[in-house]
Amino acid sequence: MPLRLHLLSLLVILIASSSLAAEPANKPGKVRLGIHNFPPGFVMSEDGKICGGRAVAILDRILKPVDLQIMPVCGTAARIYRQLDSGDMDMGISTATNPLVNHAHTFLTPAYTELVLVLYSHPKPLTDADANSVVAIRGFEYQGQRLLMQQKGYDFIEMPDAVSAIGFFLHQRAQHLISYQDPFLYYLQQHKADVLSHIQQRQLMTVDAQLVVSARSVYKDRIIQALATFAAAHPCHYLTECAQ
């Protein structure tokens, strides 16, 4: 084979190889979705090894037309945020105001759902807890509410996820719990707990929870395209409403 033709063939092979390396050839592509225990949309087994939830089914439906499939990856919220930065995670969920999420990443619209932030309190002082103790999820700033409460003298107890924080509070190990409403009500339903009449509730605010795509994900453009197509065909304010 002439040298020139040989070099041309080699160049074609190298270009094809680099293209395959940029985006996996196996179909459907596996989109790594970071899941921390935040029910009902995102749930995790007690040992933390299995996770899923309604969000996985919704996203699988949205991504199927672009040959992508969700691969749930279990972890804590703080770890998932770091993995979005490194490119070890393709997608996660957060609020757009979360300072721990790099805004180089893409927040998707429509939002996944609306969250109601509530401060839950035991009405009587607890013998085994400080009166200013508040249990919360590590890595959650709660739209600035954490800082405001710290400035007022509240002492925060950090837990890895929503379920462990709620359990800690209901076992009367903290005077207060700052939590989004959906995980709290889900926990009570799952544990058949009738405690709402014995707990004080103060709604702090509402905020949208949005899916976020890592700036380093090889599937970024296809995910954005799929969501835009789905939203155009299913007009609604939240994905949880679109996918009814």
**Distance, CA of 77 to CA of 160 (rounded, Å):** 8
Q: Are residues 82 and 131 in the same domain?
A: no
CA nearest to 58, candidates 91, 106, 83: 91
Q: Are residues 223 and 235 in the same domain?
A: yes
Note whether residue 81 is domain-resident.
yes
Q: CATH code at 31?
A: 3.40.190.10
For 182, the domain range is 115-207
Q: Are residues 109 and 126 in the same domain?
A: no
Confirm if 177 and 119 have CB atoms less than 8 A apart: yes
Q: Are residues 80 and 152 in the same domain?
A: no
**Distance, CA of 55 to CA of 211 (rounded, Å):** 10
Confirm if 174 and 134 have CB atoms less than 8 A apart: yes
Q: Are residues 108 and 215 in the same domain?
A: yes
**Distance, CA of 229 to CA of 178 (rounded, Å):** 36
User: Which pair of structure tokens corresponds to residue 25?
Assistant: 């050839």
Confirm if 76 and 36 have CB atoms less than 8 A apart: yes
Sequence-ordered list of residues with C-beta below 8 angstroms from that of 95, at least 6 positions apart, any chain: 115, 143, 207, 208, 209, 210
Sequence-ordered list of residues with C-beta below 8 angstroms from that of 164, at least 6 positions apart, any chain: 37
Peptide bond into 39 cis (omega under 30): no
Q: Are residues 58 and 175 in the same domain?
A: no
Name the 3-class secondary structure at 146.
Answer: helix
Note whether residue 82 is domain-resident.
yes
Q: Are residues 58 and 71 in the same domain?
A: yes
Q: Are residues 234 and 196 in the same domain?
A: no
Q: What is the pLDDT of residue 19?
A: 42
Q: Are residues 44 and 161 in the same domain?
A: no
Over the stretch 36-79, which tens digit does the pLDDT of each residue have? Answer: 999 999 999 888 889 999 999 999 999 999 999 999 999 999 89
User: Which pair of structure tokens corresponds to residue 61?
Assistant: 């439906």
Note whether residue 56 is domain-resident.
yes
Note whether residue 1 is domain-resident.
no
Q: Are residues 99 and 145 in the same domain?
A: no
Note whether residue 88 is domain-resident.
yes
CA distances from 114 to 5, 23, 143 (A): 60, 33, 14
Sequence-ordered list of residues with C-beta below 8 angstroms from that of 38, at least 6 positions apart, any chain: 77, 93, 161, 162, 180, 183
Note whether residue 72 is domain-resident.
yes
Note whether residue 16 is domain-resident.
no
Q: What H or E segment, with its residue span, contains residue 54?
A: helix 54-63
Number of structural domains the chain divides into: 2
Q: Are residues 199 and 127 in the same domain?
A: yes
Q: Are residues 36 and 119 in the same domain?
A: no
Q: DSSP code of 198?
A: G
**Distance, CA of 61 to CA of 219 (rounded, Å):** 16
Rounded to 5 degrees, φ, ψ at 202 are -135, 115
Q: What H or E segment, with its residue span, contains residue 151?
A: helix 145-151
Burial class for 232, CB neighbours closer than 10 Å (0-12, 13-18, 19+): exposed
In a structure prediction context, what are the per-residue pLDDT tens digits for the chain, which is 244 residues long? 454 444 344 434 444 444 434 444 556 899 999 999 999 999 998 888 899 999 999 999 999 999 999 999 999 998 999 999 999 999 999 999 898 899 899 999 999 999 999 999 999 999 878 999 999 999 899 999 999 999 999 999 999 999 999 999 999 999 999 999 999 999 999 887 788 888 999 999 999 999 999 999 999 999 999 999 999 998 889 999 886 6
